Amino acid sequence: MGILFFIVFIDLVGFGIVIPLLPYYALTFHASPFAVTMMMACYSFAQFFSSPLLGRLSDRVGRKPVILASLVCSVAAYVWLGFASSLWMLFAARLLAGAGAGNIAAAQAYVSDVTPPAERAKGMGMIGAAFGLGFTLGPAIGGLLAGGDANSAHLAWPAFLAAGFSAAAFVLALLRLDESLTHESRANAIETRLAAARKAYARPNLRLLILLFFTITAAFAGMETTFALWAHEGFGWGPLQVGGIFFYVGIILVAVQGGLIGRLSKMFGEAKLVLAGTGCIALGLFSLPFATVLWGVLAATTLLSIGMALFNPSLNSLISQEAGPQERGGVLGVAQSAASAARILGPAVAGAVYTGLGRNAPYYLAAAVMAGVVFWVRRIPGAAARR
């Protein structure tokens, strides 16, 4: 688990480095807000197809080969991004990066392989903490390299550094990561990607969890992909300032997922943590349009960060507990595919609403969706109790 944590962390540092820079990259090519959000969403478009495929592939050939292949894609994508000289190259590089992002399902399946059900939320929390730590350091590094002036930012440097981080993660995985999947489990993994998806959606408990994952992720992704545009228009912020906000978000994610989620899960159960996380996300989305100074932005992003820190590992734990050992990679891949679809729909809707109705409109819409989801999430305890 420790080696996997460091591999995911190093890879996510690279991923986080470019996140606050992408909107400014697109703006240098005179992209509209809708085009900016779609450029960020195309990553999830590719991930939508790759996650279940790579998840099921990891059930057949093992987790390690899939993780290694995905890291190679990441290195190539970041190098391409650094050399991008037109908008289509940004789209192409993000598509390639998304194709490699299917390793998330393989990493989560690895955790499921090596942890008992009672410890699974803690294990998922460790992966979430690696994500959070990567998002803590990555955007801060990217912002520092790019600078605070959006008009003269050094956008290629962070992309090349991100490629270096993914290459380091590849070397570490190649040399130090042990395979977690037994030969017996690989022999039983014979379903196709579509068969795995049909089987997952045919099970009521699993269908409910995956639909919740889709809806909440779509609402959050709409905020995430418009935040840099929102902050640039409202406060005149550049990559440095936006990277600082992501740094703050990452600190909260690490604190909750790395230090608290295991104990909270034992005290309250995953279902209640999903409910609490959903409520925090709803309040954070509603609060963000009212933020006119820095402390207001920090208050809203605090709620959003705590909400995602509680929601994500807890729901993934519930999903993994609905799957047998020979199908966990596929089931978690289906869940990640649903999340990827949400990261396509959420930014597309948010970008259109931002363009047509103003900078605050996407957050009001997402908050309204989340308010309805809070009541929907209350169905989880009954479903989870029967797993």
Reported as a single tens digit per residue, the pLDDT across 335-353 is: 877 887 888 888 889 989 9
153-156's contacts with Cβ under 8 Å and 24+ in sequence apart are 153/21, 153/24, 153/238, 153/239, 155/21, 155/24, 155/25, 155/28, 155/239, 156/82, 156/83
Q: Which domains does the chain have, with CATH numbers?
A: 2-385 (1.20.1250.20)
Q: Under 8 Å CB-to-CB from 21, ≥6 apart: which residues?
A: 142, 143, 146, 153, 155, 158, 159, 239
> What letter would DSSP give residue 155?
-
Instruction: Report the predicted TM-score, pTM, of the whole model to 2 decimal places.
Output: 0.70
Query: How far is 58 from 236, CA to CA, in rounded Å?
Result: 45
Burial class (CB in 10 A: 0-12, 13-18, 19+), 117: exposed
Reported as a single tens digit per residue, the pLDDT across 212-269 is: 889 999 998 888 888 988 998 889 888 888 888 888 887 888 788 767 877 888 888 8
The pLDDT tens digits along the chain (387 residues) read 667 777 777 766 766 777 777 777 777 778 887 888 788 778 778 877 777 677 777 777 878 888 888 889 889 988 998 888 888 888 898 888 888 776 666 777 777 777 776 676 667 667 766 776 776 777 778 777 776 666 666 778 888 888 888 888 888 888 887 777 655 555 454 455 566 667 766 777 788 888 888 999 999 888 888 898 899 888 988 888 888 888 888 788 878 876 787 788 888 888 888 889 999 999 999 999 999 999 999 999 999 999 988 988 888 888 877 766 666 666 777 787 788 788 888 888 998 999 889 999 999 999 999 988 888 877 664 444 334
Give pLDDT, residue 99: 82
Task: Kindly report the backbone phi and psi dihedral angles of residue 343, in degrees, each rounded to the nearest multiple of 5, phi listed first.
Answer: -75, -5
| 158 contacts 18 by C-beta, under 8 angstroms | yes
